[in-house]
Structures are given as structure tokens and as C-alpha cells.
Amino acid sequence: MLEEMLGKGVARLEKLSAQHVEVSYSDQKIIDDMNIEIPSGIVTSIIGPNGCGKSTILKAMSRILTPKKGTVYLNGKSIHQMKTKEVAKEMAILAQTPDIPQNLTVTQLVSFGRHPHRKGTGRLSKIDKEAVTKALEDTGMIEFRDRSLDALSGGQRQRAWIAMALAQETEVLLLDEPTTYLDMAHQLEVLELMQKLNEKKKCTIVMVLHDLNLAARFSDHLIAMKAGAVQHVGPPSEVMSKNVLRRVFGVEALIVQDPQTGKPICMTYNLVNSKASTVERMEKPVRWG
């Protein structure tokens, strides 16, 4: 059933999963008894209102945070019982606002991605260098390899960080709001790159995204969250619906089909019970052209 919905062949479940996970900050419970299964080999985006726990569950699944209860499984193993290098060989994580080391070149940054594969503190091996070059090529950063990170645009810098994650040569890539602080063009640049990498390498990609239209356009699978709990999962055609957006975001939305991609888009919306009637006036079949 899942492969028919996604149209990308068979998608194996439980490459990465969270079972009965609870995460708290001090005495405040953020995630409560959450169960998530990430389909393998496709792009999944986690959506939901601010403060609902999207980034928190991503950090728990990447071992940045330790759940108070429950277990995160990576390839059938409890991720918190695995060695750090073992996890890093199978999964890469790109934080929301990574710190930029001073006076570091793109190649030097990307080389850090080879750390899980290196023995001791020796120089990069031939295999390491080939992996770095391949990551630079895959992200379109080869011409910037000797440039300082400080001299890059926002989109170029984000691609450099993605190249570092790719140099780890993992099957799973997690990204926490990869389009934050980027303009429209650079957002598309980064998300189109993720889409191409998934199609080319068949890697499992999990992203936290705020923009619902971008999430629907560039994802095969959506997980909608609210108040630390999963509300709905499935393909964009199911999750980007009036009922789901009303329940998760508290808005009355007008959903139409993108004429270019065929994916659903939220054309306009109002708060539930708002006196504004924009959505009601437009609640008719939308004709494009």
C-alpha cells in the first residue's frame, strides 16, 4: 500500500523508528509516548506549529537528546546503545544553526564528515579524499572547494554543510529546518538538492520544515505533529487537507492542486472561527490559466 501511494517502489519501514518515546526539558514534557516509523529510501518531512516538538523528536532520533522513556531504533538496534562512530557511519544530522568555524575552507569543512571512517588522527586517505570530492560534486560545490565559508552566500553555505553530511556516506540524513533564514531562491536550491540526492542515492531523508507548501512539494511522506503528539501521517495528498490543517494548525485552509507539480498547496487560510470569510468566498473549484 505504501509503495503505491509514494510511487517510488517498495519502501521498507523501520530503518529509523521511535517507539513510546518521551522527552522532557526539566519538568516540562515535550514529547509523550510517541511512535514514529520513517519509510526507508524516500523524503519525509515533519510539520506542525511552533513548539509542537518537531525539532525535539528529530534530536531524539539522532541521539542528540536522550529520551526519558522509550527507544529509538536504527537498523533494528537501540541507537542509545550503539557506539558514536557506529551511529555516525549510518546516519548524519544537520542542525538548524550549525556554528561556522573561523577561517575554514569548504573542503576543510566537508573533510570533517570523514571522521567516523578515519583511524586515529592521521591524514585523509585516498578513499577519504575521493568521498570529499564526490560530496562536493553532488552538491555543486566543487568550484567553491577552496573558498572560505565566510565568503559564501547563505545557500552556498548550507550546501557546504550538506556536503559534509554526505561525506559521511550514510544511508540516513536528518535536517532540522534546512531552509531557515534563506530567501525563496535559496530555499528551492537546497530542497531541490535534497530531492536529487534522494533520487540518485536512494538515501532516507528526514526534514523538519515550517513551510507547508514546500514540505508538500518536496516530500513523499509527511508527519503532522501537534502538542508533542503525531496527528496524521501519509503522503502529501492526504496530510495537506482541510481537516488535518484545521486540527493541527487551527486554520480554515483552501487547498488546491499545484498545476506544475500536481502536489497540494495551501492557497490561503484563516483562523478557525475567524470573522474573515476569504476562504469561504474562494471555496469553489480553482481554475488556472
Q: For 33-69, how does the pLDDT look when each residue is reduced to its tens digit (9 = 90+)?
A: 999 999 999 999 999 999 999 999 999 999 999 999 9
Task: Give the per-residue pLDDT at 3.
Answer: 41
Is 151:181 a contact under the CB 8 Å cutoff?
no
Is 139:163 a contact under the CB 8 Å cutoff?
yes
Task: Give the range with max mean pLDDT: 7-16, 119-128, 179-188, 280-289.
Answer: 179-188
Task: Give the per-residue pLDDT at 284.
Answer: 53
How many residues would you count in the chain? 289
Q: Are strands 229-234 and 251-257 parallel, antiparallel or unpaired?
A: unpaired
User: What does the alpha-carbon distance between residue 26 and residue 289 come to, in Å, rounded to a whole number?
Assistant: 54
In a domain, 136, yes or no: yes
Predicted confidence band of residue 11 (pLDDT cuts 50, 70, 90): very low
Is 110:163 a contact under the CB 8 Å cutoff?
yes
Query: What's the distance, CA 286 to chain centroid?
Result: 31
pLDDT for residue 9 is more than 60: no
In a domain, 277, yes or no: no
Q: Is residue 103 helix, strand or coil? A: coil
pLDDT for residue 5 is more than 80: no
Range of 159's domain?
2-236
Please state the pTM of the whole predicted model: 0.88
Task: Residue 246: name the closest of 272, 209, 224, 282 by CA.
Answer: 272
Among 152-166, 173-187, 210-224, 263-277, the minimum mean pLDDT is found in 263-277
In a domain, 194, yes or no: yes
Q: What is the mean pLDDT of residues 212-217?
A: 97
Task: Give the per-residue pLDDT at 113.
Answer: 94
**Long-range own/partner contacts, residues 276-285 (CB < 8 A, 24 or more apart):** 279/252, 279/253, 279/254, 280/252, 282/254, 283/254
The residues with which 217 forms a beta bridge, in sequence order, are: none
Instruction: Name the domain count of the chain.
Output: 1
Please provide the average confidence, as pLDDT, over all residues in the chain.
88
Q: What is the mean pLDDT of residues 197-220?
A: 96
Per-state percent for the chain, helix, strand, coil, to nearest 5: 35, 25, 35
Task: Give the per-residue pLDDT at 281.
Answer: 52
Q: What percent of the chain has pLDDT over 90?
A: 77
Q: Is residue 74 helix, strand or coil? A: strand
Is 52:227 a contact under the CB 8 Å cutoff?
yes
Task: Give the per-residue pLDDT at 275.
Answer: 56
pLDDT for residue 261 is more than 70: yes
pLDDT for residue 289 is more than 50: no
Q: What is the mean pLDDT of residues 4-25?
A: 69
In a domain, 83, yes or no: yes
In a domain, 166, yes or no: yes
Q: What is the mean pLDDT of residues 64-84?
A: 94
Task: Residue 171: name the closest of 110, 59, 91, 284 by CA.
Answer: 91
- Report the side by side order of strands in the sheet with 204-208: 91-94, 172-176, 204-208, 43-47, 221-226, 229-234
Return the CATH number at 25: 3.40.50.300
Taking only the tens place, the pLDDT of each residue in 104-126 is: 999 999 999 999 988 766 688 99
Question: Counting Cβ atoms within 10 Å, is residue 143 exposed (0-12), middle (13-18) or buried (19+)?
Answer: exposed
